[in-house]
Amino acid sequence: MKVKSILCPVDFSDFSVSAYQYALTLAQYYKAHLVTLHAVEWSKYPFADYVGATGDLGDLSKALCEGGKARLLDFVKKHPGHGVEPQVVVNQGNASDVILSFVQTHKIELIVMGTHGRRGFDRLVLGSTTDRVMRKACSPVLVVSDPAHNVMATGPDGKHRLSRILYCTDFSLNSERALQYAISLAAEYGAELTMLHVVEGAPATAEAIAARTEQLNKLISDSQRKHLNVRAAVGWGKPYQQIVSYAKEVQANLVIMTARGGDALDRAVFGSTTYRVIQLGPCAVLTIHT
């Protein structure tokens, strides 16, 4: 996989810090152009309406953008990139609209962003910047939901590396594109790749597990296996619970899955399994929009 451009939206939260550190690591590894983007949203400045009625909105707009840029430059300075010099951009507007517009205009290949990861079913139907970007962006979105997550392990050469990748599939057409990213990253980093399928519902029979395992193994060609350390795993139960549990068990550095699942519930609330894994999982999640 070749990544030439990475966008990291920044809202100055702890979640932004974790996402930015991840973005720096990837930009360094792939020698990619990194853009840090801050959106100035009028809704966050309640005094703007008052100024609009009594003063010059143009002056306020300029002041907010200049303040945002100064703060973003300070953010970048406080988190050095080990040779990576990010581009600093400040735009006005709704954050998700600003991000999506920038991605489309500049053909950004990867978005790395944090989310406040609110837990519970209400989060599944709660509008947020990360939620909308995941739903609308054609580029893959790497989501970091916990500031305490380790970015990546450090290899003998001192560089950060991905050592264990967990790819999740429901065997739908939506999952195929995500598999290509999993294969590419595993080969690029020399990482162990685990392919996981979860049979939802009652405990699966030995025959069913064997059949699904064979189906998983067929996803990887013989020529690809020569360059990969790959294994197949089948679980049963609630998909998000099994994925989170397995990610913890294998100490995954990264989970890769689609942003839209194959069943009716996932289509209804846009990837409820994916949301839960982002909220509860032990590592960052790379979501591939289909």
The predicted pLDDT at position 107 comes to 95
The predicted pLDDT at position 279 comes to 83
**Above 90 in pLDDT, residue 168?**
yes
The residues of the chain that CATH labels 3.40.50.620 are: 5-144, 154-288
DSSP 62-78: HHHHHHHHHHHHHHHHH
Q: What is the DSSP letter of 93?
A: S
CB 228 within 8 A of CB 193: yes
CA-CA distance, 89 to 121, in Å (whole number)? 34
The predicted pLDDT at position 160 comes to 61
**Of 160, 184, 163, residue with least CA distance to 1:** 184
Q: What is the CATH number of domain 5-144?
A: 3.40.50.620
CA-CA distance, 62 to 210, in Å (whole number)? 63
**Of 220, 262, 217, residue with least CA distance to 239:** 262
Which residues lie below 8 Å from residue 274, measured CB to CB, with a gap of 6+?
Answer: 134, 257, 258, 259, 260, 261, 266, 285, 287
Q: pTM for the complete prediction? A: 0.86
The predicted pLDDT at position 242 comes to 94
CB 259 within 8 A of CB 172: no
**Above 70 in pLDDT, residue 112?**
yes
The predicted pLDDT at position 261 comes to 43
CA-CA distance, 110 to 199, in Å (whole number)? 31
CB 160 within 8 A of CB 154: yes
Among 95-104, 125-134, 188-197, the least confident range: 125-134
Q: What is the CATH number of domain 154-288?
A: 3.40.50.620
Q: Which residue has the higher pLDDT, 21 or 7?
A: 7
**Above 80 in pLDDT, residue 281?**
yes
Among 77-91, 228-242, 251-265, the least confident range: 251-265
CA-CA distance, 96 to 9, in Å (whole number)? 10
The predicted pLDDT at position 42 comes to 67
- Mean residue pLDDT across the chain: 83
Which residues lie below 8 Å from residue 102, measured CB to CB, with a gap of 6+?
Answer: 7, 35, 37, 89, 91, 108
**Structure confidence at residue 50 as a pLDDT band (50, 70, 90):** very low
The predicted pLDDT at position 117 comes to 46
SS3 of 114, please? strand
